[in-house]
């Protein structure tokens, strides 16, 4: 059994080049997509990240750091994670599991919408995040690590399920802590109906980060980024960086291509 893989592109924005690629492109702005992903198999619905539907909350943060040019806009009129799920015949209560690649606002803010879901997170990633909260809270500011959503994960025993590297309880879905962009960044590796699919988290914001082995500008551990790129470049599979603007094209191309045994 394999999972169908669907991109939920909910918002678009411009970001400074030096944010996408570490210490490069100070005078360039780049189009950034904000995506979550829907995996479906046999009546089971899994999200990889859950996005943010209230863009105003994030835009308040972005306005203060990037100005009007850096604000996010919905990917289309009325588009949100909720609307993208509805287009696919799903309501938030139908989501069984949310696999979180990290706790940044654009990946976790909608958590409270998914009251029936279990949330998967890397154990190492969670512990490193909690350690920073204790020792260096300035590294996990409320503005980008929303306490409402994170508190919701912690509020009910069993809601947050910490997983070790390797297979999770969901058949065909594995986790691998990568760090780099944030202490908790985690990749998920999925047996998809288009072949092996890797969600690398924001340690690889775009395909270019991986191809050029160039860390993102927003980074807590540069060495971990290089390690992640080494792993991604050595691993056969379709890598879906969460902010790449060409993702939908990439996926539809892959769906049309005949799969080779090597890729499966």
**By the 8 A CB rule, do 144 and 104 touch?**
yes
Q: Which is nearer to Zn ion, 106 or 191 (CB)?
A: 106
* b/e sequence 48-66, b meaning 16+ C-beta within 10 Å: bbbbbbebeebbeebeeeb
Stretch that binds Zn ion, among 1-9, 46-54, 66-74, 101-109 (CB under 5 A): 101-109
Question: Using the rule CB under 5 A, is 53 a contact of Zn ion?
Answer: no
> Which residues lie below 8 Å from residue 57, measured CB to CB, with a gap of 6+?
105, 109, 146
Instruction: Tokens for 110, please give them.
Output: 């909608």
202 binds Zn ion (CB under 5 A): yes
CB nearer to Zn ion: pick between 3 and 199: 199
* Pair of tokens at residue 179: 């760090």
Neighbouring residues of 156: CB distance < 8 A, sequence distance ≥ 6: none
| String of DSSP letters for 249-264 | HHHHHHHHSPPPTTT-
Among 11, 13, 48, 106, binds Zn ion (CB under 5 A): 106
Considering beta carbons, is residue 106 or 244 the nearer one to Zn ion?
106
Q: Provide the minimum distance between the beta carbon of 105 and Zn ion in the complex, in angstroms, as a whole number.
A: 8
Q: How far is the CB of 205 from Zn ion (least distance, A)?
A: 7
| Cβ nearer to Zn ion, comparing 51 with 192 | 51
C-alpha–C-alpha distance, residues 243 and 35, integer Å: 6
- Say how far apart CA 89 and CA 179 lie, in whole Å: 34
| Least distance to Zn ion, CB of residue 252, Å | 22
Taking alpha carbons only, the member of 79, 3, 11, 89 closest to residue 47 is 3
Partners of residue 39 on adjacent β-strands: 5, 46
> CB-based contacts of 154: which residues, under 8 Å, 6+ apart?
160
Binding characters for Zn ion, 55-94, by CB under 5 A (x = yes): ----------------------------------------
Residue 244 as a binder of Zn ion (CB under 5 A): the answer is: no
Q: What span, in angstroms and rounded, lies between the C-alpha atoms of 45 and 98?
A: 9
Nearest distance from C-beta of residue 110 to Zn ion, angstroms: 13
DSSP secondary structure of 56-104: HHHHHHHHHHH-GGG--EESSTT--HHHHHHHTT--GGG--EEE-S---
C-beta of 145 vs 191, nearer to Zn ion: 145
Nearest distance, CB of residue 53 and Zn ion, angstroms: 15
Tell me how far, at minimum, the Cβ of 106 lies from Zn ion, in Å. 4
Q: Find the shortest distance in angstroms from Cβ 56 to Zn ion.
A: 17
Q: How far is the CB of 231 from Zn ion (least distance, A)?
A: 20
Token pair belonging to 132 = 């920073």
Which one, 92 or 216, has the nearer CB to Zn ion? 216
For residues 47 and 195, which CB has a smaller minimum distance to Zn ion in the complex? 47
41 or 177, CB closer to Zn ion? 177
By CB under 5 A, the count of residues binding Zn ion is 2
Binding window for Zn ion (CB under 5 A); candidates: 10-18, 45-53, 105-113, 253-261: 105-113
Chain contacts with Zn ion (rule: CB under 5 A) = 106, 202
């Amino acid at each position: 059994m394999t999972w169908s893989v669907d991109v939920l592109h909910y918002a678009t924005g411009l970001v400074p080049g030096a944010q996408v690629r570490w210490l490069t492109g100070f005078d360039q702005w780049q189009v950034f997509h904000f995506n979550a992903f829907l995996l479906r198999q046999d009546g089971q619905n899994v999200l990889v990240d859950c996005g943010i539907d209230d863009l105003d909350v994030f835009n308040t943060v972005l306005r203060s750091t990037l100005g009007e040019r850096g604000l996010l806009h919905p990917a289309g009129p009325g588009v949100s994670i909720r609307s993208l799920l509805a287009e696919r015949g799903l309501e938030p209560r139908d989501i069984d599991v949310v696999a979180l690649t990290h706790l940044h606002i654009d990946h976790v803010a909608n958590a409270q919408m998914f009251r029936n879901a279990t949330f998967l997170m890397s154990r190492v990633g969670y512990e490193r995040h909690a350690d920073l909260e204790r020792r260096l809270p300035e590294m996990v500011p409320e503005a980008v690590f929303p306490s409402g959503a994170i508190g919701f994960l912690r509020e009910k025993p069993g809601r947050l399920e910490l997983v070790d590297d390797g297979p999770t309880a969901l058949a065909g879905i594995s986790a691998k802590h990568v760090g780099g962009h944030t202490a908790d960044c985690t990749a998920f590796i999925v047996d998809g109906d288009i072949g092996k699919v890797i969600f690398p988290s924001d340690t690889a914001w775009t395909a270019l980060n991986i191809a050029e082995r160039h860390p993102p500008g927003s980074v807590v551990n540069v060495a971990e980024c290089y390690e992640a790129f080494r792993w991604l470049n050595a691993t056969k599979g379709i890598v879906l960086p969460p902010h790449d603007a060409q993702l939908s094209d990439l996926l539809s191309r892959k769906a049309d291509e005949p799969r080779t045994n090597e890729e499966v």
